[in-house]
Each structure stands twice: as structure tokens, then as C-alpha cells.
A and B are shown apart, each in its own frame.
Chain A
Amino acid sequence: MKTLEQLEAEVRKLPPQAQERLRDWLEKLIEDRLELKDDFKAEVESGKKDIAEGRYRVRKGVMKTATIKFPGQLAEQLQKLVEAGWFKTPEAGVVEALRRYLSGHSIELQEKQILADVEWGLHGRD
């Protein structure tokens, strides 16, 4: 029998569509295996009732998953930071970089800077 690592390596080689089909199949398999006990069923029903009656709140900051492609050179730099112990994982490095960028780059501010630059470019005196 193949090890989990071997299976993961094979799954990585599949085309995206096949990976999605595999994910759906796996989710269904896991769902089918779940034993619906009475207390769990009651909890689900109670949850549905709460939602129907508006007793819920939206959780902010829920994690999202994104698949991105970026230049190999950036990947190497990121890997060096991970190896040097600055980040536990490459994902943590990407999130930190994104957080820093977003905190210092509002759309309004960027547009204002570019428009000032356009004004200078078109009508400056130098």
C-alpha cells in the first residue's frame, strides 16, 4: 500500500479539474462516515432555527484559501526567510507581506499620488 506522502505527491500531479473531483469525492466519503447521533442532530436543528430567527453573527477574519503563481525569484527569497526562521511557513510570509502592503497602500492615497504625478508630468515647469 502506498504511504500518505506518496498519495499526496500523486495528487499534486493531477490536473486541477481532477483534483477538484477528488476533493468532492473525499468530502462525500467523510460525510458518509460521520455518525449522526441524536445530540448532534439536535444541535444542527437548533443551529438552523437560530439562523432562521436571525440569532447569528458573521465572523470576521475567517481564513480564505487562495492559490497564486509568483516568480521563482520571489519564491526563493521567501524560502530563504523561512529557512532563516523569520516565518514558520511560506504562507505566513505571504500573509505578512500582504498585510504590510495593504496597511500602507490605500487605493485613495495611491490614486491621489498618481494624479499629483500626472499634474506634474503634464504641467510641471522642470
Chain B
Amino acid sequence: MAATEIVAVLDAGPLIHLDELGRLGLLSDFKQLLVPQAVMDEALRHRPGMNPDVLSNMEIISHPPPLPADLLKLADEFALHAGERAALAAGFQTHGTIGLILRSQRRGRVSKTEMLQLLRDLPARTTLHIHKDFLAVIVARAETEAIS
């Protein structure tokens, strides 16, 4: 399936976690990936061996658009990260590692079995913090609702 016309703004989390899973390439299924410089710096601090070159659709944003004062206050209150702030400023919705893994199966990039395995592997193979019972609920939903 061809990459969608969707432009995505990434936060450090999905970059780090997908790299930990060895599946950074799943992010190539976007027309363009916008990554604020601060996000890339953070991701590389955590994953010095990460190779962002595998993502030919990625564009580093040196100067993300500034947030209006009211949104800036909200961003501070909710301790948003650089990527989340850039997405907010650009009017994009942000998505996390789990959503991206599920989407990759929906888009036919990985099989259902592989998607479920990636989800189950999250606690052991990545630094994503998630409660095991909550993850079990998500896996159960994915098993039931994802179309094979």
C-alpha cells in the first residue's frame, strides 16, 4: 500500500520506542514526517545508535511555529513535549507508539500476528511506561477489532 497523504508531527516517544522494537521503518508510511529539532535531539540522546536516515520522508524543523499565549499556558500546565507543542501549533493531532503500531497493521504494513506481538513486547523491549493490565485491555481490543 502506498504511503498516505498524511503529514505527521512526531514526538520523541514513538521514535524511541519504534527504534527499540527495531521497527522505525513503520514511520515511512506517511507522506511527510515533521520532527522538531528538539525532538530529534532527545531521541538521539536516548538512542545514540538510531539511524534516522531510514526515514526518507522525515523533515527536521529547526524553528517550530510558536504557540499562542493561551495554548502556551495549557502546554505548560500539561507539561507537553516539544513534538506535542509543535503539533498543537500546526493544528495536527498527535499519536503515540501504540496507535502507530495499530495503524501499521490497518495499513497492511505488518500482519495481525506481528502487530499483536509488537504490542505484547512493549514492556520488555521498550522504555514505554504502561500498566500491564491496561496493555492487556488494548491487546484484547486489537485481537477482536483489527481486521486480518
Name A's B-contacting residues (CB within 8 A): 73, 100-101, 103-105, 109, 111, 113-114, 117-118, 120-124, 126
Interface majority SS on A: helix, strand, loop or mixed? helix
Measured between beta carbons, the chain B residues less than 8 angstroms from A103 are: 77, 79
Nearest A residue to B127 via CB reads: A71
Interface majority SS on B: helix, strand, loop or mixed? helix
Please report the total number of B residues contacting A with Cβ < 8 Å: 25
Interface bits B83-118 vs A (CB < 8 Å: 1, else 0):
000000000010110111111001000000000000
Least distance between A37 CB and chain B CB atoms (Å)? 52
Stretch of B15-23, B57-65, B134-142 with 4 or more beta carbons under 8 angstroms from chain A: B134-142
Pick the residue among A73, A104, A114, A124 that contacts B98 (CB under 8 A). A114
Assuming A104-B77, A120-B103, is B138 touching A126 (CB within 8 A)? no
Query: Are A122 and B141 neighbours in the complex by a CB distance under 8 Å?
Result: yes
Interface bits B61-81 vs A (CB < 8 Å: 1, else 0):
000000000000000011110
Measured between beta carbons, the chain B residues less than 8 angstroms from A104 are: 77-80
Measured between beta carbons, the chain A residues less than 8 angstroms from B77 are: 103-104
Query: Are B146 and A122 neighbours in the complex by a CB distance under 8 Å?
Result: yes
Query: Are A124 and B79 neighbours in the complex by a CB distance under 8 Å?
Result: no
Assuming A105-B79, A126-B6, is B98 touching A117 (CB within 8 A)? yes
